[in-house]
Amino acid sequence: MEAILAAGIGLMLGSFLSVLIGRWPHWRGAAAGRSHCPNCMHVLAWYDLVPLASWVWLRGKCRYCGGPISTLYPVLELTTAAVLATAVIVSGVATMWSLLGLVVLFGLVGLFFFDLVHHMLPDAIVYPLALLVVARIAYYRPDQLVNALATGVLLSSLLALLFFYSRGRWLGFGDVKLAFVIGALFGYPMAVGVTLAAIWGGALAGVGLMVFRRATMQTALPFGSFWTAAAIATLLAPSWIAYLSGLLTPAF
């Protein structure tokens, strides 16, 4: 029951996120205005903006001009819903710790899509997320606070060195700030594992794209997306580990 509720809230939060991503970087001017079709500028009615349902009903086309609506919207809404529902199934919402964990997950999903679409990690998400992660550990796991802060600062310093050494060619400064979030969220040694998983994921994706000639050595892959994806997968690990072991267990 809670999982269904979480999925519903996830759809709405994902829809909100897709508006932020779609209107970037004109948040201030556009946030006040009504949503409109970017193609024909027709103002959209509430029934054009129901998460997922509107997109499916209209088959991905604008009601007024027939122009295409980006698949980003339903994908983003579904992803947010799936992540939040899975998290609720895994850890429930019994404690403040797990409720705040849902907020952290939502922030990570936001960063994943921002880096994927715009190749940047907005401070408006990274800073509050860093604050939340540190406050959550300070209050509920004070014994882990030193580890969390030290890992965050060290990981961030390491990436800052790489950033300045490569003059921003290997990674963006947003990754330096994200490093603090990942370091503080997982602490040592788990943060190292999450980072290595992201590097491997990025390398495999890069090779895959080159094999299919969609990319060259010069193509910049959004490392922040791989990093946040690895973080989300790790936070949800109990669920997919249980699923995989279910698959491997003989049915008889």
Residues that bind Zn ion (CB under 5 A): 37, 39-40, 62, 64-65, 67
Q: What minimum distance in Å lies between the beta carbon of 41 and Zn ion? A: 7
Q: What minimum distance in Å lies between the beta carbon of 51 and Zn ion? A: 19
Q: What minimum distance in Å lies between the beta carbon of 52 and Zn ion? A: 19
For Zn ion, the closer of residues 39 and 79 by Cβ is 39
Residue 54 structure tokens:
């509107």
For Zn ion, the closer of residues 58 and 209 by Cβ is 58
| Residue pointed to by tokens 């409109």 | 36
Q: How far apart are CA 145 and CA 179, in angstroms?
A: 16
Q: What are φ and ψ of residue 168, in 5° steps?
A: 75, 15
| Residue pointed to by tokens 């979480």 | 6
Q: How far apart are CA 140 and CA 95, in angstroms?
A: 10
For Zn ion, the closer of residues 65 and 220 by Cβ is 65
For Zn ion, the closer of residues 40 and 131 by Cβ is 40
Q: How far apart are CA 32 and CA 38, in angstroms?
A: 16
For Zn ion, the closer of residues 23 and 119 by Cβ is 23
H helical segments located in 92-222: 96-118, 123-140, 145-165, 173-186, 190-211
Q: What minimum distance in Å lies between the beta carbon of 56 and Zn ion? A: 17
| Residue pointed to by tokens 């995989």 | 244
Q: What are φ and ψ of residue 105, in 5° steps?
A: -60, -40
Q: What minimum distance in Å lies between the beta carbon of 16 and Zn ion? A: 21
For Zn ion, the closer of residues 65 and 199 by Cβ is 65
Residue 175 contacts residue 121 (beta carbons within 8 Å): yes
Q: What minimum distance in Å lies between the beta carbon of 37 and Zn ion? A: 3
Residue 126 contacts residue 119 (beta carbons within 8 Å): no
